[in-house]
Amino acid sequence: MLKVNELRISYGDFKAVKGVSFEVERGEVVGLLGPNGAGKSSIMKAIMGLVEFEGEVKLMGKEIDFEAKNYIGYVPEEPLLIENLTPAEFFEFLASIRGKGAEKAVKLSKIFELEKYATQPIITLSMGNRKKVSVIAALMHEPDFLILDEPMNGLDARSSRILKDFMREHVERGAILFSTHVMEIAEKLCDRVIVINKGEIVAEGSVEELKEMAKMESLEDVFLKLTSEEGISFA
């Protein structure tokens, strides 16, 4: 469904991503794991066209143009919102641009318990509620492919559970690429994980495969070993 080939991203002289290639198939949840500054968010931003890059990014065999964005839902690490609008106004704007998603936004607002803040400007909302707005904005048009950058950050336990359930449900008809620092979440949700360190893939496979390769009990131990200074790689 998503094909990333030899992706390179530089910020001035700093090479943030150094020739990363991977694929995400329909029906798959792929986790991008890595320490801070490894290049996870940069990869996601490149897929969304938010940063300049070299290499190839294709969704369903086509380059990601403006039409393809109808099929993608993106939750950035820092919510991308219009803060002087209320959630209702923001969803109305998005639904009008995409031509769909109004009813789903109302439904999701109820599910995420955001309805009571519907007419309060986003700037006055707590971080958690802003994150909920960002999540609903990404899900409301029922996209096939979800790109979630640290989606659970800032969400309360109930909302995290709702989102996890939603992800499981979603993957039956689409695919998900998401990043997280929480290994337990990755272990429970991911069909496959890609571990990135210093802009390069150092391991890729199912959680069980990685544990077996590293001969370790938990994904956390595998992750710590892979991202340690010695620079071990199973890629």
Partner 1 sequence: MSFDLLRTLPLKDDEIAVVRFMVLFRIFDIPLVVIAVFYPLITCYFYGIKALIPSILSIVSLEIISIYIAIRLARLFYEKIAYSTGSTFSTILRVLAYFLWAIAFMGIYMASSLVEMLSKKNYNLMKYDFIFPVNYATISCGIFDFKAVISSAVFIILSYLAYKKLCSELSKEAKIRVQTGKMKIKVSKPIVAFIKKDLRVVTRNPGATLLIFMPMIEAIFMSYLNVMKGFLIQAMITSVVMGFLPMVVLIFSGMEKRELLKTLPVKNRTVRVSKTVIGCLVYLSVLIPLIFRTFISLALFPAVLTMSAASSYMAEKLDISRNIQTESIKAILVFLVCYTILYAPVICGFIVHFLKPSYELVAITLAGIAELPLAVWFLANER
Q: How far is the CB of 88 from partner 1 (least distance, A)?
A: 5
Strands 29-33 and 72-75: unpaired
- Between 13 and 65, whose beta carbon lies closer to partner 1? 65
Strand partners, 7: 20
Estimate the crossing angle of helix 87-98 against helix 102-111, to 10 degrees: 150
If the CB atoms of residues 107 and 181 are measured against partner 1, the closer one turns out to be 107
Among 86, 129, 197, 227, the residue binding partner 1 under the rule CB under 8 A is 86
Output helix, strand, coil percentages for the chain, rounded to the nearest 5: 40, 25, 35
The verdict on 11 binding partner 1 (CB under 8 A) reads no
Question: What three-state secondary structure class fits 205?
Answer: strand
Q: Does 144 bind partner 1 (CB under 8 A)?
A: no
**Is residue 122 left, alpha or beta, with left meaning phi > 0 and alpha meaning psi from -120 to 50?**
alpha
Sign of torsion, CA 72 77 82 86? Answer: positive
Q: Which positions from 90 through 119 interact with partner 1, judged by CB under 8 A?
A: 91-99, 102, 105-106, 109-110, 115-119
- Minimum Å distance from CB 30 to partner 1? 20
Min dist. Cβ of residue 67 to partner 1 (A): 6
Q: Alpha-carbon torsion 80, 49, 112, 194, what sign?
A: negative
Residue 93 CB, nearest approach to partner 1 (Å): 5
Structure token pair of residue 227: 């991202």
Asked if residue 162 binds partner 1 (CB under 8 A), the reply is no
Within positions 32 to 71, which residues make up the interface with partner 1, using CB under 8 A? Answer: 48-50, 66-70
Q: Work out how close the CB of 44 gets to partner 1 at its nearest, in angstroms, rounded to a whole number.
A: 11
Interface positions with partner 1 (CB under 8 A): 48-50, 66-70, 72, 74, 80-82, 84-89, 91-99, 102, 105-106, 109-110, 115-121, 123-124
